């Protein structure tokens, strides 16, 4: 017989990822809203408690064709920080693989376009930025969701290009 949990311990269900079809549909709807409204809907600035949304422009690592993804971000001084999480699916997102091959990119923010250079945060810098993600609304189960993946989720820093 298993002992019951201590009465003061909160019972938590394991993290669950929505079905892949749901995640992909949400992405399509988001991109469509952006396109149909000519950018009036779909992007937002981050606040101290909620992440923002930006369009990330990369170049396909194999095709050489332009690629666009809408990703969450927050600002860390002049840098923009996002997670390469692919809807918490296990494989890395294509946009991250593209940035690993070609770190130069651009982003569309609510107030305009910016050229950036991408890098993966490591060590204490990664831990500090990951801790910020934990504080943002909607990412309360960040560690539980990340634990579902077979690899560490890259924290991507987009620095303004010179």
pLDDT digits (tens, 9 = 90+) for 117-134: 999 999 999 999 999 999
Residue 58 is part of which domain span? 44-160
pLDDT digits (tens, 9 = 90+) for 26-45: 766 667 667 776 766 678 89
Q: For residue 88, tell me if it sits in a domain.
A: yes
Task: Give SS3 for 148.
Answer: coil
pLDDT band at 23 (very low <50, low <70, confident <90, very high): low
| DSSP 8-state symbol, 50 | S
Q: For residue 132, tell me if it sits in a domain.
A: yes
pTM (predicted TM-score): 0.79
Q: Give yes or no for a contact between 157 and 118, defined as CB atoms under 8 angstroms apart.
A: yes
Q: For residue 62, tell me if it sits in a domain.
A: yes
The domain spanning residue 98 has which CATH number? 2.30.110.10
CA 106 from centroid of its chain's CA atoms: 15
Residue 123's pLDDT is 98
Q: For residue 25, tell me if it sits in a domain.
A: no
Q: For residue 26, tell me if it sits in a domain.
A: no
Q: For residue 143, tell me if it sits in a domain.
A: yes
Dump strand ranges (E) for 77-121. 79-83, 104-109, 112-120
**Of the ranges 27-41, 52-66, 79-93, which one carries the lowest mean pLDDT score?**
27-41
Q: For residue 1, tell me if it sits in a domain.
A: no
Task: Give SS3 for 93.
Answer: coil
Q: For residue 136, tell me if it sits in a domain.
A: yes
**Count of domains for the chain:** 1
């Amino acid at each position: 017989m298993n002992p019951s949990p201590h009465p003061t311990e909160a019972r938590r269900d394991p993290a669950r990822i929505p079905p892949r079809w749901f995640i992909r549909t949400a992405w399509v709807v988001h991109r469509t809203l952006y396109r149909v409204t000519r950018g009036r809907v779909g992007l937002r600035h981050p606040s101290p408690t909620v992440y923002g949304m930006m369009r990330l422009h990369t170049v396909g690592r194999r095709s050489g064709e332009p690629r666009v993804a809408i990703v969450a971000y927050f600002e860390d001084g002049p840098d923009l920080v996002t997670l390469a999480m692919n809807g918490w699916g296990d494989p890395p997102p294509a946009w991250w693989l593209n940035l690993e091959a070609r770190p130069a990119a651009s982003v569309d923010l609510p107030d305009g376009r910016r050229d950036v250079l991408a890098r993966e945060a490591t060590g204490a810098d990664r831990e500090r930025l990951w801790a910020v993600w934990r504080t943002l609304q909607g990412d309360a189960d960040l560690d539980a969701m990340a634990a579902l993946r077979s690899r560490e989720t890259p924290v991507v820093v987009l620095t303004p290009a010179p």
